[in-house]
Amino acid sequence: MPVLNEAAGIPATLAALAPLRARGVQVVVADGGSGDGTPALAAPRADRVIVAPRGRALQMNAGAAAAGDADLLLFLHADTLLPADADRLVLDAVARGARWGRFDVRIAGRPWMLRVVAALMNARSRWTGIATGDQAIFVERALFERLGGFPAQPLMEDVALSRRLRAVARPACLRARVVTSGRRWEQRGVWRTIWLMWRLRWRYWRGESPDRLARDYR
């Protein structure tokens, strides 16, 4: 789990993972230099808390490296909650031959349009074989390492990794839903955010630099 200044929500997010930890799931938190006490709040609720270079891709790569001898990796955003039986669902998918995959997503928030956005995200991902970080990507460690992990770019790192993984195998698209916060949608406006994200994806597909896209996203 990559984090940066998530003190307000990190205790609840990690508390929700306690049943999975009790069943043997290892939780690694990779902090990118928080100034609000996030690491101290995370420490009693995680197996490891590490400091990593700032940037979601860099933090997730560092977290994967710190995850000991785990054969499977799952990358979870700090504002996203997994289904209660996420570990069983992932293991079942792997037992059926999946090498990587993701969950469907539900976006929490008041605007009704968030339900539409989530449905379109899930359908697009199932059609294209491309996953987003909000969908809790999971992958065999050996495959993740063979492909070099997440590329060191400030935006669209999830899309870039998905493309590499898709070239090896189609993803398992689990219909169980993770629940992710709609805070960025509500803060920026739902329609404005939809337009922004589609425009950024189009520009990325056209070959624009992720660094430039990240500046525009911010």
pLDDT at res. 209: 81
pLDDT at res. 197: 82
What are the pLDDT digits (tens) for 18-60?
A: 999 999 999 999 999 999 999 999 999 999 999 999 999 999 9
Task: Provide CB contacts within 8 A for 102, sequence distance 6+.
Answer: 125, 131, 132, 135, 136, 137, 138, 171, 172, 173, 174
What are the pLDDT digits (tens) for 123-169?
A: 999 999 999 999 999 999 999 999 999 999 989 999 999 999 999 99
Quickly tell me which residue has 């069983």 as its tokens: 88
Cα–Cα distance for residue pair 129/172, rounded to 1 Å: 9
User: Residue 81's closest CA among 16, 144, 23?
Assistant: 16
Cα–Cα distance for residue pair 72/76, rounded to 1 Å: 13
pLDDT at res. 125: 96
